[in-house]
Amino acid sequence: MRGTLYNAVFSAGITLILACLMLGVRLSAEGTRLTVVGAGADRWEWILAGVAVVFFGQLFSPRLDALFGRIPKPSLGALKPQDSTLKRLKPWLLAALIVGLVIWPFMVSRGAVDLATLTLIYIMLGLGLNIVVGLAGLLDLGYVAFYAVGAYTYALLSEYFGFSFWACLPIAALLAASFGFVLGFPVLRLRGDYLAIVTLGFGEMIRILLNNWTGITGGPNGISGIEKPTLFGLEFSRRAGEDAQTFHEFFGIDYNSGHKVIFLYLIAVLLVCVVIYLINRLMRMPIGRAWEALREDEIACRSLGLNRTVIKLSAFTLGASTAGFAGCFFAARQGFISPESFIFIESAIILAIVVLGGMGSQVGVILAAIVMTILPELAREFSDYRMLMFGLLMVVMMRWRPEGLVPMKRPHLELK
Amino acid sequence: MTEASLYLLQQIINGLTIGSTYALIAIGYTMVYGIIGMINFAHGEIYMIGSYVSFIVITGLLAMGNIALPVTLFAALLVAMLIAGTYGWSIERVAYRPLRGSNRLIALISAIGMSIFLQNFVALSQGSRDVALAPLISGSVLEFGSLETFAVTISWMQLLIWSVTLVTMTALTLFISRSRMGRACRACAEDLGMTNLLGIDTNRIISLTFIIGAALAAIAGLLLGLYYGVINPYIGFIAGLKAFTAAVLGGIGSIPGAMLGGLILGVAEALTAAYFPSEYKDVVAFGLLVTILLFRPTGILGKPEVEKV
């Protein structure tokens, strides 16, 4: 009992020290002079409440642990239908899902469709990073660099050479992949955590270059007026450009700016479906198995004759090309890009999506991407706390559920 | 001396100033890495918190009036070290200790989460805009060269940074090499499991490492804060990356290596900023990091690491 009391007092004291100067007072600039202002009484009440929570939490921690231990863990497995039923229903469910995804935007508001498009971009990014982090176990903190490469590829090619979106899509993916290849080739020999820092440095370098190469990339001002995608040459603007036709003229319907939003959404759905399909195939191929094997035990893999450079490089390059895809689409959707969109925090958000969903699990990553993009929109008044929560979530997830919300299930066959 | 060589000398002096603060931060990375083999990604944020605490204390004491400047600075230093140390200890306790023994990447992700959390915590509680402090220490100790062309100056501020760094480094070296705790630290870096078997409380040593690293980062926070005069909640990210580069450059796990690496990085950066567009000085740090990791991953003074099954 005395031990717990001491522990509780100690923890409460530490909390008070942590909070007193950083939360209790704040620096404020009055003109050129700097002053210290004590925070309001309400903030001190919060601090004291926090200290009290820590104190009692520590004091009763053994009892609380016992209490939490008694709560039965919800088992998701019980909710799932039998494997045989699932197998029979799967094609139908997939078909229903895809039809639903296609029909849905015609019934809701423009803002909702736009948000869905953004979510789909994050799903693409999450799936791409999932190959690198989840499957191959390479922590890439500069993933956003490949996203930037894709976005700038489209923006620059369309601005200077008038390339169309559809032509740029494969080019962007290829270019991002080659960036991944060039970076990956020397770097992948490094051990896990060094790799993380080097990719982080690479991401920052790309951003700094984009920011300072003013002549071509427009520097911090970015590139604006990027062309929107067309449907077989049909534009989605009110008036067509030279020797082009608009969508509404061709079909003889009234102009509606919503068409463009829905069209973009449908492209995103298409891209995500393609990415999911490809990754699913890859996971079942020898290379996919090799990724996971390498993640689990590198030395064992090498002793079995797997070439680790080729395997890691393929994961890195494929992840990068997915980001290039997403970047190209992002540039087309925004119509404006600047280095501001490709900061480290963006990499961290994508990483948080992968971690939250469950490293390696595709369903998990998709769900996490949906949650991570829609929650901040719903809780607008808490938008200041968004990144704070992301950070906290990453720590909490690693501590209590490192395998993610929907842990990965390996594709496997059972002998009967 | 010609103008060009005077200019070069000035840049080296500036580089050594910044470099010695990088070295202070880098020690935190290198000590933690040496003992538990993880990159404490949140270390840069500790430096930032140290800056904030020292600014708060300095402003508060100046507002009271008639307290001598050295007393103010010393008080700020002590409080910043205390609070940063507490942050360092708590971070280890909350975010890293429960994960010890698990996969390296898991601990690193937790550290990244902690870093994002702390950055936004300070941005929310202290405001995300720049905070500027009027220069407290001005004037120069020494000027040479002709005034018409170019004069090399060493300011009081630079002298302060050098002397504080020197005293701190000496104290740390003595602590690590002479004291009982220091010997335990070295034993932990050698073999954590064995040290534990010999009856040394390794958890306490690891906590101590985090506290020392955080306190040194807080010193750097105070010094760099005074030197630049401007801080914001986002300075920790770049400073942390650079200090990490310094630690890797010198050989991660080695304390003299971190000192050397910091100085080299500082000079390299100052020279790039002097002869190339200054925006590229961050690129140099990262480029240097990539190059060392590729060609000599053990750094200048590091020991090669054997991969164990």
Mean pLDDT of B105-127: 89
DSSP B96: I
| Measured distance CA(B240)–CA(B291) in Å, rounded | 18
* CB contact (8 A) between residue B116 and residue A26: no
Residue range B48-67, pLDDT digits in tens: 999 999 999 998 888 887 78
> What is the per-residue pLDDT for A391?
87
Mean pLDDT of B237-257: 87
> What is the per-residue pLDDT for B161?
93
| Option in A204, A348, A397 nearest B282 (CB) | A204
B242 vs B149: which has the higher pLDDT: B242
Whether chain A has a CB inside 8 Å of the CB on B113: the answer is yes
Task: Determine what percent of chain B is predicted with pLDDT higher than 70.
Answer: 96
> What is the per-residue pLDDT for A244?
66
> What is the per-residue pLDDT for A145?
92
> What is the per-residue pLDDT for B25?
94
Search chain B and give the residue with CA nearest A207. Answer: B283
* CB contact (8 A) between residue A196 and residue B287: no
> What is the per-residue pLDDT for B89?
94
Question: Hunting for tokens 């220490």 — which residue is that?
Answer: B137
> What is the per-residue pLDDT for B51?
94
Q: Which residues of B touch A209 (CB under 8 A)?
A: 283
Tell me how many domains chain B contains: 1
- CB count in 10 Å sphere of residue A383: 10
Residue B34 structural domain: 3-155+190-295
| Measured distance CA(A393)–CA(A401) in Å, rounded | 11
Assess if residue B233 is contained within a domain. yes
- Supply the pTM of this predicted model: 0.86
Q: How close B6 gets to chain A, by Cα (Å)?
A: 29
> What is the per-residue pLDDT for B179?
92
Assess if residue B42 is contained within a domain. yes
| CATH code assigned at B59 | 1.10.3470
- Are A338 and A194 in contact by the 8 Å Cβ rule? The answer is no
> What is the per-residue pLDDT for A185?
80
Q: Which residues of B touch A29 (CB under 8 A)?
A: 129, 131-132
Residue range B124-142, pLDDT digits in tens: 888 888 888 888 887 777 7
Residue B87 reports pLDDT greater than 80: yes
* CB contact (8 A) between residue B110 and residue A390: no
Mean pLDDT of B162-190: 92
| Option in B121, B287, B297 nearest A190 (CB) | B297
DSSP B83: H
Mean pLDDT of B257-265: 91
> What is the per-residue pLDDT for B304?
66
Instruction: List residues bridging with B97 in a β-sheet.
Output: none
Q: How confident is the model at residue B118 (pLDDT cuts 50, 70, 90)?
A: very high
Assess if residue B176 is contained within a domain. no
ipTM of model? 0.84
Sequential pLDDT tens for chain A (416 residues): 677 888 888 888 888 888 887 787 888 777 667 777 777 778 888 888 888 888 888 888 777 777 776 766 655 555 565 667 777 777 888 888 888 888 887 777 888 888 888 899 999 999 999 999 888 888 888 899 999 999 999 988 888 887 888 888 899 999 999 999 988 887 777 776 778 888 888 888 888 888 888 777 777 887 887 777 777 766 666 666 666 667 666 676 767 777 778 888 888 898 899 999 999 898 888 888 898 888 888 888 888 888 888 888 999 999 999 999 899 999 988 888 888 888 888 888 898 888 888 888 888 899 889 888 888 777 777 777 888 888 888 888 888 877 777 777 765 666 65
